[in-house]
Amino acid sequence: MMRTRPLKVALLGCGVVGSEVARIMTTHADDLTARIGAPVELAGVAVRRPDKVREGIAPELVTTDATALVKRGDIDVVVEVIGGIEPARGLITTAFEHGASVVSANKALLAQDGAALHAVAEQHGKDLYYEAAVAGAIPLVRPLRESLAGDKINRVMGIVNGTTNFILDKMDSTGAGYQEALDEATALGYAEADPTADVEGFDAAAKAAILAAISFHTRVRLDDVYREGMTEVTAADFASAKEMGCTIKLLAICERAEDGASVTARVHPAMIPLSHPLASVRGAYNAVFVESDAAGQLMFYGPGAGGSPTASAVLGDLVAVCRNRLSGSTGPGESAYAALPVSPMGDVVTRYHISLDVADKPGVLAQVATVFAEHGVSIDTVRQSGKDGEASLVVVTHRASDAALTGTVEALRKLDTVRGVASIMRVEGE
């Protein structure tokens, strides 16, 4: 039987995403009612600038007092799309304390304080859903914590930032330099005026923390994620990648150790073979590649940002939470029973592509090979070219730990015949 009393929703934030959430709630009201089993009513919208005209939103719903809105007591669901740590954290906690469940798109807050927020939600018997926090419209959080709940996930590797993928794709396809590609991304609206959060990997690192926590049933915080930006990637790196049959992507990688005793989470540029599914992800799109024991290899692909795609994920969570409210139940909360340690980056084992500037004279290759051997790093291939006394030496290793590679590079820098280390890049996906 359809319930006639509406479920009341408070919206915190009415920017690009929030305005789309409000629009879809209005234009799809009948469909949402049929899917949920009760009408959904937008009961209030908290904003910073109340005088701004917001099409489709009644002025009397708009308030600057977000705290009073979430404290009303008659709110069933709070949708938080303001971002940042505070006041979002305090508002979400207050919402739980006053009887509301929460849908959030706040990756930074969830990566930093997800465990504490889950604890408050559980204490008050409420839901915390956050599909939109990781990969925009791509259904990923729910498949990982529900559809694959009976499986063992071993690795999650993905492109989770559209801005960086657009820039790297442009560098790959046109030969443009980093700054040129960034300028185009900015002009097209893919990059913010200050792109630091994207290009330095902060955005992707927050998403990696969330993905690792869900996948491995372990608390992984933002501080646990190794982060390396992509501002130093050059056209020469792409040329080297092409010679190897690879391209370069900024990847978020979460993986379980081979012995299953620990996990790692990291974000950095990496070469991946053109044959890998992630290599074909173009423009500002996102994709996440999941490897598990029973399901095998799965790939999730789609638009990872933008008002409408992100609002789609928010509305999907809203429907699920509202259904739970009607049935008197809650969805899955935090699952951290495994409590695996998070290993440091030095323990991570992968392949490496190292480009050295060296003197073009006999014996250089032998010296370099000796250094690699002394540090236990096995060489897969070597390519040398040069003239007029200077040469470029490209070494691709077999799998080695980050700590071993770091020691190798430090020793190489001390050789008189090595003029400099032009670039170091990890090789993934093989």
d(C-alpha 415, C-alpha 371), whole Å: 9
Reported as half-sphere exposure (CB side, CA atoms, 13 A), residue 193 has a value of: 0
277 closest CA partner among 265, 267, 285: 285
Look up residue 286 and give its two tokens.
Answer: 């996102």
Q: Encode the chain in three state secondary structure.
A: CCCCCCEEEEEECCCHHHHHHHHHHHHCHHHHHHHHCCCEEEEEEECCCCCCCCCCCCHHHEECCHHHHHCCCCCCEEEECCCCCCCHHHHHHHHHHCCCEEEECCHHHHHHHHHHHHHHHHHCCCCEECCHHHHCCCCCHHHHHHHCCCCCEEEEEEECCHHHHHHHHHHHHHCCCHHHHHHHHHHCCCCCCCCHHHHCCHHHHHHHHHHHHHHHCCCCCHHHCEECCCCCCCHHHHHHHHHCCEEEEEEEEEEECCCCCCEEEEEEEEEEECCCHHHHCCCCEEEEEEEECCCEEEEEEEECCCHHHHHHHHHHHHHHHHHHHHHCCCCCCCCCCCCCCECCHHHCEEEEEEEEEEECCCCHHHHHHHHHHHCCCCEEEEEEEEECCEEEEEEEECCEEHHHHHHHHHHHHCCCCEEEEEEEEEECCC
Look up residue 60 and give its two tokens.
Answer: 């009397």
Does the annotation count 207 as an active-site position? yes
- Bridge pairing between strands 285-292 and 153-159: antiparallel
The tokens 């009760």 sit on which residue? 38
Of residues 8, 107, 170, 207, which has the active-site annotation? 207
d(C-alpha 387, C-alpha 385), whole Å: 7
Look up residue 365 and give its two tokens.
Answer: 């290759």
Q: Are 165 and 249 in contact (CB under 8 A)?
A: yes
d(C-alpha 137, C-alpha 142), whole Å: 12
Which residues participate in catalysis according to the annotation? Answer: 207
